[in-house]
Amino acid sequence: MAVKMDKAAIREMIARRAEQEIESGFYVNLGIGMPTMVANYIQPEKEVVLQSENGLLGIGRSPYEEEVDPDLINAGKETVTAAPGAAYCDSAESFAMIRGEHIDLAILGGMEVAENGDLANWMIPGKMIKGMGGAMDIVHGSKKVVIIMDHVNKHGDPKILKTCKLPLTGKSVVDRIITDRAVMDVTEAGLVLVEIVEGWSVDEIKASTEAELIISEELMKIHK
């Protein structure tokens, strides 16, 4: 069994691994929650433009205390900084970028992902929500969709399933899943385990994943 890490360390590990999905020249949308942390780990040599659906093109890192501007926020209502050359637009123009397939990569959170790439991440029946947000547009308009999340829920039940139980955000939209235990790719052949976090075994990953896993012949380790 892997050595237990605290929640903050796990989130940082996932965010740092997700940063590796970003290539120089990419336009990237970061979903609310843990995905916003990825902005803090983008390598300085990468020329990347972060897009927020609420109208900021060119998000920077999280602000230091003295830099906080309550009027400068991301889609999750968290304060952010604007990178040099950033531009502001209204929501309609922001969604035109998304629906026009100008976003190279979306990194989003997930409640459930199915082995065929179905995603559920916008609501839990019976719980109050403010609205569906922009996730349904983002998963269909982005060229690549990466989901980052815990491998199991707070009850220890798998979140990577044969079929999603929660209302879907999109069907067959996920390309890659990054969790606190592993990295998996959605392929035509099935869900492929391509990386495993140091300290976890293949058998443990299988036991905590409802979906069938194909083990890559080039399985790699993620070092903490």
Give pLDDT, residue 45.
Answer: 96
Give pLDDT, residue 2.
Answer: 56
Q: Does residue 3 have a pLDDT over 60?
A: no
Q: What is the mean pLDDT of residues 153-172?
A: 97
Exposure pattern of 74-86 as b/e (b: 16+ CB <10 Å)? Answer: bbbeeebbbbeeb
Question: Is residue 204 one of the residues assigned to a domain?
Answer: yes
Q: Which of 128-137, 140-149, 153-162, 207-216 has the lowest mean pLDDT?
A: 128-137
Question: Is residue 154 one of the residues assigned to a domain?
Answer: yes
Which tokens belong to 76? 């999750």
Question: Is residue 25 one of the residues assigned to a domain?
Answer: yes
| pLDDT cut 90: percent of the chain above it | 86
Which residues participate in catalysis according to the annotation? 53
- Domain containing residue 106: 7-222
DSSP type of residue 61: S
CA distances from 26 to 37, 56, 83, 103, 140 (A): 17, 16, 15, 8, 17
Give pLDDT, residue 131.
Answer: 72
Handedness of CA 76, 80, 83, 89 (dihedral sign): positive
pLDDT classification of 139: cutoffs 50, 70, 90: very high
Q: What is the mean pLDDT of residues 119-140?
A: 86
Distance of alpha carbon 76 from alpha carbon 108, whole angstroms: 12
For the purposes of burial, counting CB atoms within 10 Å of the CB of 210, is it exposed (0-12), middle (13-18) or buried (19 or more)?
Answer: middle
Question: Is residue 45 one of the residues assigned to a domain?
Answer: yes
* Residue 91's CATH number: 3.40.1080.10
| Total structural domains within the chain | 1
Give pLDDT, residue 63.
Answer: 94
